[in-house]
Structure 1
């Protein structure tokens, strides 16, 4: 009798979550409706396996965001229109500036918040990693004004140390970091675990092949995809040097389909 009572108690607590689904006179068998693991992962950030346990009842919508420099920010307007008409987005793949817009959107920022972030950026300062003149001592100001171009000399023969790019991109990295830290899900290291599945497209500088970044540091992924050769230094990931994804695919439509979208 004791064991029978325990079994009944266990069955009661097992069926309790399904109580709202029971209707008087219903001829359908009992059905437990539980959230899929992928929903728990992407919406709550608690658990992520990268496996969809339940097929969606609609086609997956994907967005391919292109490069184009500062003009690529205008693509935020597309996100605003989709949001206005309640069109859900399941996949975002971005190249260059599109990877920045898409990455922030996938991490939980609204289109308006991305607009506000873009307006606060002083784009000319992004290209200059030197401290502003107002932050220098008087002697440093005079020293800077004496030369148009400065090069370091290295080695016993004092050979000029020519940099890999115009700027190391430290200010760009700092700017992207500040934006990602303000997003709800910027801490995720697996881009399938973001509210919207995300990929950043970069280019392998050595082989010239496309590299689709699906995990790692979100700031690093965006920074790699936006690294215009000779303007920003490449981003090293393991043994690979990554530069702007626009060199191989400025509009990553194929990559968006490959990431799981049915409609792009």
Structure 2
């Protein structure tokens, strides 16, 4: 006769990229923390890596939110380096139009003469002002950053070494910031290969994966005001379809309502946090039901779940697990 025991499932949180929309991750973490819902590990892509690393570093969603809010309120230029449209000059005066035209022409010239429009120092300053560096394996909450290797085309999970460097690699938007070179890898933003790192959570041992999708709820209101908007949206179309397929492997997907939020709208911090809190609050009962079902199944359910994950996530062979030098 088989004996069944209640085993607490290991919960993984897959935080997707989305620029300023990623602030919604903080709201979701706030609610999960407030309600005592366990989070055993976090894997973040791009802004998901920034928010996830800050949470793992401070070990408190409330403190992480307050810390981020304080930095933004103080208008520290280092954090606003993340907004590549800052000081874009949207006035209607003749000189405003002339200034924008000159800026656009300079941008085009730069894009064909060097690796990126901005130096790596710009992104480094933004990340450095958020938290002190440490070794990822020393964090109180298990964390990894998802990046993409331009050489092999593989997704990369960084789960050891310098936390800052891992986050910088995961957030290095191709074209905007230069790739990060480490060993035989040339790393850029994790969104290139995995917008929402569900598979990475399973690879790191999660039994139950909650994915957070901060893509725009709809594109019907989007205005393509910049050349880069058109380029990025074109690249997103295929990537989004791929992401929809991968999300089927998650146990649950939280989707905050983010209708008209551009990825560079960093001044809408509180609105994004509130959207995340609302979305998480609305699905708490569903999350608890899934958690309970995983727990009540005991050892047999746990083994079946792991086997199911291996079948569904067959392309884990395309993900490398690497360590950043200290």
TM-score past 0.5 threshold: yes
Identify the residue that residue 26 of structure 1 maps to in structure 2. none
Equivalent residue of 1:214, what SS? strand
Q: Which runs of 4+ in 1 moved over 3 A?
A: 116-119, 121-128, 147-151
Structure 2 residue corresponding to 1:200, chosen from 105, 126, 145: 145
Q: Which has the larger radius of gyration?
A: 1
Match of 2:224 in 1: none
* Counterpart secondary structure, 1:232: coil
Matches within 5 A, 1:41-52: none
Paired residues of 2:45 and 2:197 also in contact (CA < 8 A): yes
Q: Structure 1, unaligned stretches of length 5 or more? A: 1-55, 129-146, 152-159
Check the 8 A contact 2:40/2:142 in 1, yes or no.
Answer: yes
Q: Spell out, residue by residue over 1:186-243, the C-alpha distance to the aligned partner (whole angstroms, 9 max, x if none).
A: 42x2x33311111100000122110110111101100100111001111111232100
Cα deviation, 1:175-196, whole Å, max 9, x if unaligned, reads 2122221xxxx42x2x333111
Whole-angstrom CA distance in 1 between matches of 2:167 and 2:17: 12
CA contact (8 A) 2:14 2:43 kept: yes
**Could you say which residue in structure 1 is the equivalent of 2:91?**
none
Are 1:200 and 1:221, in contact at CA under 8 Å, matched by a contact in 2? Answer: yes
| 1:58 aligned residue | 8
Equivalent residue, structure 2, for 1:155 = none
TM-score (norm. length: structure 1) = 0.61
TM-score (normalizing by structure 2) = 0.50
- Equivalence for 2:234: none
Q: RMSD of aligned C-alpha atoms?
A: 3.1
SS of residue in 1 equivalent to 2:160: coil
1:1-264 aligned at under 5 Å gives the runs 57-119=7-69, 120-121=71-72, 124-126=80-82, 148=103, 162-181=113-132, 186-187=133-134, 189=135, 191-264=136-209
Contact 1:90 1:196 survives alignment (8 Å): yes
Once the 2 structures are TM-superposed, how far is the Cα of residue 108 of structure 1 from its aligned partner? 2.3
Q: Which runs of 5+ in 2 are unaligned?
A: 1-5, 85-101, 210-326
Contact 1:73/1:118 (<8 A) preserved: no
Counterpart-to-counterpart distance in 1, 2:52 and 2:172: 16
2:232 maps to which residue?
none
SS for the counterpart of 2:8 is coil
Q: Deviations over 1:161-187 (max 9, x none)?
A: 822111113132122122221xxxx42
Name the SS of the counterpart of 2:43 in structure 1.
Answer: strand
Q: Distance in 2 between matches of 1:223 and 1:195?
A: 20
Match of 2:217 in 1: none
Number of aligned pairs? Answer: 184
In structure 1, C-alpha distance between the alignment counterparts of 2:141 and 2:8, rounded to whole Å: 16
Q: Residues 178 and 84 from structure 1, CA distance in 2 versus in 1: closer, same or farther, beyond 3 angstroms?
A: same
- Given that residues 126 and 169 in structure 1 are in contact (C-alpha distance below 8 angstroms), is that contact kept between their aligned partners in structure 2? no
Select the structure with the greater relative contact order (CA < 8 A; seq sep ≥ 6).
2
Contact 2:149 2:155 in 1 (8 A): yes
1:110 deviation in Å?
A: 2.2
For the 8 Å contact 2:123–2:177, the answer to whether it is kept is no
CA gap of 1:125–1:193, structure 2 versus 1, over 3 A, is: closer
Deviation (angstroms), 1:112: 2.8
